Structure 1
Amino acid sequence: MQLSKTGYYADFIIYPLLILGLLGVQLAEATTWRPFGFVFLCLLGFAAWTLCEYLLHRYVLHRVPILHDMHEAHHANPSAFVGTPSWASFLMFSVGALLPLSFAIGFTYASPVTIGLMLGYFCYVVVHHVTHHWRLAPDSPLYRFKHRHARHHFAKTPGNFGVTTLFWDVVFGTSLEAGSRERRSSFLRGFGRFLG
């Protein structure tokens, strides 16, 4: 979705504050502090985000007609301020993750998972911004993200749906990187075909 400049950059302020705020609530509410469990649940949330990012990009932005049209406009003008409005992503994390997880497993466990999800989303926002709006030298560590995402935009074969990681593209056989298709096992090749 086309955003104003303010709307586009809002996530760069809102999500660090939300993550810190939820961390503060977690620390204030926790009766006992288990840092290893907390970090594990945050990492689990982060990993879950990478899968959500891949699935949303592949199956929603490339297959749901109205969203596909907006996404194609982004492909046509990659330097435009295109993204998800902060209010929509906030609803996704609060109503779609934190509340149901709190009811299912309790707030103490739901909040670090949600922190991990939001941290993953924030990383996605940053990496996506860098790939479209920064000029990077080919020897820059971030250049490979830019190159990989450019292949997503301009390749004839759909692929490279992951922005923050290539992992799920390799698992599901949609990586456009040289040699990655050959490294997959026959099980994963079949599993990727099964998912479409």
Structure 2
Amino acid sequence: MVAQGFTVDLSKPLVFQVGHLGESYQEWVHQPIVTKEGPRFFASDFWEFLTQTVWWVIPVIWLPVVFWCIFTCILMGHTLPQVSLLVASGIFIWTLLEYTLHRFLFHIETKSYWGNTMHYLLHGCHHKHPMDALRLVFPPAGTAVLSLLFWNLLKLVATPSTTPALFGGILLGYVMYDVTHYYLHHGKPSTEVPRKLKKYHLNHHFRIQNKGFGITSSLWDKVFGTLLPSITAQKKT
């Protein structure tokens, strides 16, 4: 596609090309290329490797951290019912974070060179190549940085003994989100609930990309008025 005199060459590493699209970037990135083969991001093999993550790495790395958080909270004197409530609260907090990040950060509109470049790395690549299996889940290094941020924020509003379980719940919610997101793109659901989730998310990709920001649930889309029209129509019938 030619934009502002610039053509993106899909046969070459993309990351340092897309910024040149300027104001045309948003149009370009929301025209998906549906192939299982992902594009090359960087000329460097090292940086290219850091952008690719197989889905099962997410639970393998982060579930042990979740269990450690829960065990720590128990050691601090909380009962199992109390810990369960804290973890459930953390999962609920994650659902709002999931919606907020997806709507206001992942779908931020950019037009500068570095703005387009960062957006492409963060989320634009997923909309351009939605079936790229190695870039569907968030790289662990990025998750670790964000986890430190959320851990320190929680310490400001929660007690020392409740922070681990709340954080563990948020992290568990994230793991559920990431593996669900992968499944919605590459799984073949045979029951009603996952089928509806898959349809809902694919409608976000291929029909109306400024609505339907919930991945694991459409709850916050209902609350904030960004529910996809197809879901609204189903509810009325």
Indicate the larger mover: 109-118 or 18-27.
18-27
Match of residue 128, structure 2, among 66, 76, 81: 76
2:53 and 2:215 map into 1 onto residues whose CA distance is 21
Over aligned residues, Cα RMSD in angstroms? Answer: 2.5
Query: 2-side partners of 1:27 and 1:179: how far apart?
Result: 41
1:46-69 alpha-carbon deviations (Å, 9 max, x no partner): 111111110100110110534433
Match of 1:155 in 2: 207
Match of 1:114 in 2: 167
Letter in 2 for 1:25: T
Letter in 2 for 1:43: A
Q: Go from structure 1 to structure 2 and tell me whether the alpha carbon gap of 1:14 and 1:64 turns closer, same or farther (over 3 Å shift).
A: farther
The 8 Å contact of residues 69 and 164 in structure 2, kept in 1 or not, is answered as: yes
Distance in 1, Cα, partners of 2:107 & 2:156 = 32
Q: 1:106 to 1:166 in 2, by over 3 A?
A: same
Q: Which of these two proteins has the greater Rg computed from alpha carbons?
A: 2
Within the candidate set 120, 137, 146, 1:92 is matched to 146
Q: Percent identity?
A: 24
TM-score, normalization by structure 2: 0.66
* Aligned partner letter, 2:106: L
CA distance, structure 1, for counterparts of residue 175 and residue 208 of structure 2: 29
Q: TM (normalized to structure 1)? A: 0.79
> Aligned partners of 1:64, 1:37: CA distance in 2, in Å?
42
More helix by share: 1
Write the distance in 1 (CA, Å) between the matches of 2:234 and 2:203: 18
C-alpha contact 1:148 1:177 (8 A) present in aligned 2? no
Matches within 5 A, 1:35-184: 35-63=80-108, 65=110, 66=116, 67-70=118-121, 71-80=123-132, 81-82=134-135, 83-93=137-147, 95-137=148-190, 139-156=191-208, 158-178=210-230, 180=232
Gaps of 5+ in 1: 184-196
Partner of residue 4, structure 1: 52
Identify the match of residue 68 of structure 2 among 12, 15, 21. 21
